[in-house]
């Protein structure tokens, strides 16, 4: 919460006979009175006379302080990482939006607020006033794994300009944006330069940092850029990491013991890596698909050669990782037996992470609900989410920035 101070005119000092209606209304506001709108001068005077109190009363203090929550909009809200991070009476989410119907359903179930759909159809005239605009805007146009078209992507890449429209209309003092780390180098750095230039054109001071979530307490190595833009001369500093690295082991469910790897389809090859590096996943094994004779023949025919293609393996979904290090980046879509979460050696079993375990990878509570959502879809939504630990680490700095 932040405090708003207003210099008040004590009710007892108001000269009811000579003071103008405008000054009387100011006195009403200072005294915390309501219902003066549309009233005649005589009626406002009567309200003030009723409110007259001895000068020793607390209501006659020259300064009256009102504490209000910091209002924010959660745009491209997904599962609500910002909402979870800001879950205190110091913040209030007044607007949210996401084009995905399933994400909106999940968000409403967990936060009691129904997001709007397409950001491009938001009625900005009816949108509440905000203090912070939060937006983890679509990453795919700037991602190495995506199409890489950036602002040329007319469906997703240019949604940044819809964010600018909201900034123009609502003029919030703070804006927090999140995207893939490749945003900073996309199009030889021109995309990022455009974003900064547009924010600075609107009188924002911009600070940014590529953050690995594992440095902020998450058991997941997930690199994302966070851009914080603020109005005025007061600087904002993105906090450093916690200094604590949590391994995947810390979020495992010990009751899950089933081995999921079909060894009839994959050859397990031990990886040469022996040293666990802080903040980085540790590969134990590469997996290589075992091709049937029929598959080999099909490959040979396709290549118009009798030479068999060597089985390819070693992609993220075809590796087995150690639970004694941080985990890999959870992906919304990826192939192989370790699709989305990656495979981990847990005791004698090799398996993916469960939905509840993956929730913990992102910093969401175990009680987070996924109504009418299949496990694979749950993992899909998580793969598109922001890691809660990062915006949660920003909260003290945000509160300090809004403090008087």
Same-domain status, 102 and 84: yes
pLDDT at 311: 53
Cα torsion angle, 300, 305, 311, 317, sign: negative
Weakest-pLDDT range from 62-71, 80-89, 231-240, 374-383: 62-71
Q: State the average pLDDT over residues 143-158.
A: 52
Same-domain status, 35 and 148: no
- pLDDT of residue 236 exceeding 80, the answer is yes
Answer with the residue of higher pLDDT: 137 or 38: 137
Tell me: the pLDDT tens digits for 329-386?
Answer: 999 988 899 999 999 999 999 999 999 999 999 999 999 999 999 999 999 999 999 9
Same-domain status, 19 and 83: no
Ranked by mean pLDDT, the top range of 23-37, 51-65, 271-285 is 271-285
- pLDDT of residue 35 exceeding 70, the answer is yes
pLDDT at 64: 42
| Marked catalytic residue, from 139, 175, 331, 378 | 139
- Which helix H or strand E contains 108, and what residues bound it? helix 101-111
Chosen domain end from 42, 67, 92: 67
Chosen domain end from 25, 43, 67: 67
Percentage helix, strand, coil for the chain under 3-state DSSP, each rounded to 5: 35, 20, 45
Let me know if residue 322 belongs to a domain: yes
77 is catalytic: no
Let me know if residue 379 belongs to a domain: no
Same-domain status, 80 and 229: yes
Answer with the residue of higher pLDDT: 25 or 376: 376
pLDDT at 304: 52
Q: Residue 14: which domain range?
A: 2-67
Which pLDDT band, with edges at 50, 70 and 90, does 393 fall under? Answer: very high
- Cβ-contact 327, 348 below 8 angstroms: no
Same-domain status, 241 and 278: no
Which CATH number covers residue 235?
3.40.50.150
- Give the rounded percent of residues in the chain with a pLDDT score beyond 90: 62
Cα torsion angle, 392, 397, 398, 404, sign: positive
Q: Say how many C-beta atoms besides its own lie within 10 A of residue 86's C-beta.
A: 24
At 148, give phi and psi (nearest 5°).
70, 15
pLDDT at 45: 80
Same-domain status, 102 and 205: yes
Q: State the average pLDDT over residues 268-275.
A: 84
Let me know if residue 175 belongs to a domain: yes
233: helix, strand or coil: coil
Same-domain status, 42 and 91: no
Q: How many domains does the chain have?
A: 3
Q: State the average pLDDT over residues 52-81.
A: 70
Same-domain status, 236 and 165: yes
Distance of alpha carbon 304 from alpha carbon 61, whole angstroms: 90
Q: State the average pLDDT over residues 75-92.
A: 97
- pLDDT of residue 240 exceeding 60, the answer is yes
Q: State the average pLDDT over residues 296-320.
A: 68
Q: Does the reported pTM lie above 0.85?
A: no
Same-domain status, 200 and 102: yes
Distance of alpha carbon 331 from alpha carbon 337, whole angstroms: 13
Let me know if residue 358 belongs to a domain: no
Let me know if residue 370 belongs to a domain: no
- pLDDT of residue 44 exceeding 80, the answer is no
Tell me: the pLDDT tens digits for 130-141?
Answer: 999 999 988 755
Cα 86–chain centre separation: 10
How high does pLDDT run on average in the chain? Answer: 85
Same-domain status, 217 and 346: no
Same-domain status, 258 and 213: no
Q: Tokens representing 103?
A: 């994400």
E strands present in 18-82: 63-68, 70-75
């Amino acid at each position: 919460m932040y405090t708003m101070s207003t210099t008040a005119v004590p009710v007892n000092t108001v000269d009811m006979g000579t003071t103008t209606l405008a000054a009387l209304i100011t006195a009403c506001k200072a005294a915390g009175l309501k219902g003066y709108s549309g009233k005649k001068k005589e009626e406002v005077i009567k309200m003030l006379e009723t409110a007259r109190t001895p000068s020793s009363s607390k209501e006659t203090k020259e300064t009256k302080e009102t504490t209000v929550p910091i209002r924010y909009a959660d745009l491209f809200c997904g599962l609500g990482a910002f909402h979870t991070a800001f879950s205190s009476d110091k913040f209030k989410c007044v607007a949210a939006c996401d084009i995905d119907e399933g994400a909106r359903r999940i968000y409403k179930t967990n936060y009691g607020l129904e997001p709007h759909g397409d950001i491009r159809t938001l009625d900005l005239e009816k949108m509440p006033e905000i203090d912070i605009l939060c937006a983890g805007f679509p990453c795919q146009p700037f991602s190495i794994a995506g199409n890489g078209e950036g602002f040329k992507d007319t469906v997703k890449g240019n949604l940044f300009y819809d964010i600018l429209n909201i900034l123009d209309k609502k003029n919030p003092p703070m804006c927090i944006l999140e995207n893939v780390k490749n945003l900073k180098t996309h199009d030889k750095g021109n995309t990022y330069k455009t974003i900064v230039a547009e924010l600075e054109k609107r009188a924002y001071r911009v600070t940014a940092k590529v953050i690995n979530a594992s440095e902020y307490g998450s058991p997941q190595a997930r690199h994302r850029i966070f851009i914080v833009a603020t109005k005025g001369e007061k600087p904002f500093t993105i906090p450093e990491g916690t200094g604590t690295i949590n391994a995947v082991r810390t979020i495992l469910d010990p009751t899950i013991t089933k081995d999921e790897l079909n060894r009839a389809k994959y050859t397990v090859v031990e990886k040469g890596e022996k040293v666990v590096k802080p903040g980085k996943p540790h590969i134990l094994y590469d997996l290589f698909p075992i091709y049937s004779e029929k598959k080999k023949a099909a490959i040979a025919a396709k290549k118009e050669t009798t030479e068999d293609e060597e089985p390819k393996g070693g992609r993220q979904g075809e590796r087995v990782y150690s639970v004694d290090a941080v985990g890999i980046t959870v992906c919304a879509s990826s192939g192989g037996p370790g699709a989305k979460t990656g495979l981990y050696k847990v005791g004698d079993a090799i398996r993916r992470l469960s939905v509840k375990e993956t929730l913990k990878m992102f910093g969401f509570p175990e009680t987070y609900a996924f109504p009418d959502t299949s496990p694979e879809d749950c993992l899909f939504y998580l793969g598109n989410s922001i890691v809660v630990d990062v915006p949660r680490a920003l909260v003290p700095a945000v509160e300090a920035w809004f403090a008087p």
